[in-house]
Amino acid sequence: MTHPSMRGWALAATAIATLLLLWAMSPTENRMQANGPGMVPFELSGGQQRADEILAEWGEDGRDAAREQLWIDYGFMLAYGSFLGLAGAAVRDRCRRHGLGRLAAAGEIAVWLGPLAAAFDALENACLLLTVGGHGAPFPSLATVFATCKFALLVGAIAYLLVGIAAVLSRRGREEQPSG
C-alpha cells in the first residue's frame, strides 16, 4: 500500500500529464477536422470502406496528423490509465473508511477499468496506425472493437468515481450533522 501523500502526488502528476497530453493532441485533431471527421469517427469506422473514406477526406496532412496523434496518444493512455487507477483506489479507500462496503468491494474491480481501457486503447492505436499506413483489411474493424471496449471501460471507471465520490460526500454530510 502506498503512503497517502505519495498517492496524492501521483494522482496530481497523472492528472496534469493527462491534461497536458490532451492539450498536445488538440492541434492534430484540428488538422484532421479541417478536412473531415476527427479521430473518434475514425476509431469507430467499423470497417475498411469507411476508414478509406475518412483517409481520403483527410488527405496527406490529415493522415500525418492522425499518425502524430496516435503516437502522442500512447503517452496519454499511460497518463489517463494511471490516473483512473489511482483515483479509483482513492475512492475505494474512502468508501471503505466511510463504511460503504459494497462500493469499496466494487472498487476492487473498478481500479482496473482505467488501466484496462488504456490497454485496449494501445491495441486500437496499433490497428489504426496500420490502417493509416495502408495495411488494410482487418485493422479498421479490430480498431472499432478495441475502441468500443475502451469506451465501455472508461464509462465504467468514470461512473465508479462519480458514484463513489457522491456516496462518500453524502455519508460525510450525514456524519457531520448534529443530532437533535
Q: Residue 109 carries which side chain, given as an amino acid letter?
A: I
Q: How confident is the model at residue 2 (pLDDT cuts 50, 70, 90)?
A: low
**Averaged confidence pLDDT in the chain:** 93
Q: Does the model's pTM come out above 0.85?
A: yes
Alpha helices, H only, the chain: 4-33, 39-43, 48-97, 101-110, 113-132, 138-176
Going from N- to C-terminal start, the domains of the chain cover 4-174
Q: How far apart are CA 120 and CA 142, in angstroms?
A: 11
Which of 104, 42, 52 shows the shortest CA–CA distance to 73? 42
Chain centroid to Cα 114, Å, comes to 6
> Mind listing the pLDDT tens digit for each residue in 89-122?
999 999 999 999 999 999 999 999 999 999 999 9
Handedness of CA 59, 64, 65, 69 (dihedral sign): positive
> Mind listing the pLDDT tens digit for each residue in 39-98?
999 999 999 999 999 999 999 999 999 999 999 999 999 999 999 999 999 999 999 999
Where do we find the cell 488504456?
118
For residue 118, the surrounding DSSP H or E stretch is: helix 113-132
Question: Would you say residue 143 has pLDDT above 80?
Answer: yes
Helix, strand, coil distribution of the chain in percent, nearest 5? 85, 0, 15
Residue 17 three-state SS: helix
Query: Residue 27's CB: how many other CB atoms inside 10 A?
Result: 13
